Amino acid sequence: MKKLTVLGATGSIGVSTLDVVARHPDRFEIVALTGNSRVEVLYEQCLRHRPRYAVVGREEDAASLTTRLREAGLATEMLAGPAALEFVAALPEVDAVMAAIVGAAGLQPTLAAVHAGKQVLLANKEALVMAGHLFMAEVEAHGAVLLPIDSEHNAVFQSLPADYAGQPARAGVSKILLTASGGPFRDVPLERLKSVTPEEACAHPNWSMGRKISVDSATMMNKGLEVIEAHWLFGVAAEQIEVVVHPQSVIHSLVQYVDGSVLAELGNPDMRTPIAHALAWPERIDSGVAPLDLPAIARLDFEQPDFARFPCLALAYRALAAGGDAAAVLNAANEVAVEAFLAGRLPYLGISEVIAATLDAMPVEEMPDLAAILAADAQARAIASEMLLRYER
């Protein structure tokens, strides 16, 4: 029986994780769930999975849920705040931690799981974007096992040799190709992007995701963050990571080898597939996802990304090339800009403009420790917030 903590249980990845877990009650036990502000969803999850601990963002929500859970006959201990997230991520009885808190907020609890030597199922790409070299060093130092959950990185993981160990030259890997759907605006006239609404940006054609990630997919910042993540996960240089637009989202990513071979992982666009793969690794279990019907799909298309249409992707490559704290600055500015866009305070095209201006305003600094990373993150958020003022006048 594998015992699990699910960080970000009420988000799309967390919900999909619990769906897979529920299909295999003989294999998995939920020890802790976290849900920040989605209290009602977390309450229902606690009723079904009966965790020992549950964590929310606010003390008052924890008190309210405690009362309701006691009335329902559950002994789940309610906790609140960032320290509680780190606590449940490092519980001695937990074998694996699903790290699915979106954004920079997921960095420290994910690191807590790493420091405890857990098997970490990494859906929080920002942990590697913000602190890649430190994060990977901590994984090695504490004997943690890192399994990627992003469909693209999970596909790469499945297409690499079992003994890869971050050594592309030894494995004969020449390139990693990350596929991207192109999102809802792949064919929209560029002039039309000036008037894009949050609802339109969140209407992804293939994947069901949270609002922030959906916007990142529309701008292709999500793919840019995945390029940075792939650099740290697989030990490949930026020039060895190529993004390919693939509208059908059937091929999730590919690995090109020096002998001319290209290995790919295919499947229906459903996050339960990579989640099930990581939960049971190195075994395979039913994910609840329908098998791929290639004749029904009939065709697979590919094209190069248009950097004029997707400037956020170019900004991510710029940050990776710059090194130091540039990726942390990129991520922080993006979070501020996307939040403003979703709140109606920033036009869609303003997202990339705010990010670029923030990168321009902050000289690249080295990141010797977590404190330096968090300081760069805070400074970038402050600068990006100031940049928003030009759109609000």
Tell me the domains of the chain and their CATH numbers. Answer: 2-148 (3.40.50.720), 156-270+284-297 (no CATH), 323-392 (1.10.1740.10)
pLDDT for res 207: 67
Q: How far is CA 255 from CA 148, 162, 286, in A?
A: 15, 14, 25
Distance CA 206, CA 214 (A): 11
Distance CA 209, CA 206 (A): 10
pLDDT for res 393: 61
pLDDT for res 204: 75
Please calculate the CA angle 50-56-58 and round it to the nearest 5 degrees. Answer: 145
pLDDT for res 208: 66
Give every residue of the chain whose pLDDT is below 70, as ranges.
Answer: 207-208, 393
- Quick count: other Cβ atoms within 10 Å of Cβ 382? 13
pLDDT tens, residue by residue, 164-181: 989 999 999 999 999 999
pLDDT for res 338: 97
Nearest to 343 by CA among 288, 278, 392: 392
pLDDT for res 7: 98
pLDDT tens, residue by residue, 193-246: 999 999 999 987 776 678 898 999 999 999 999 999 999 999 999 999 999 999
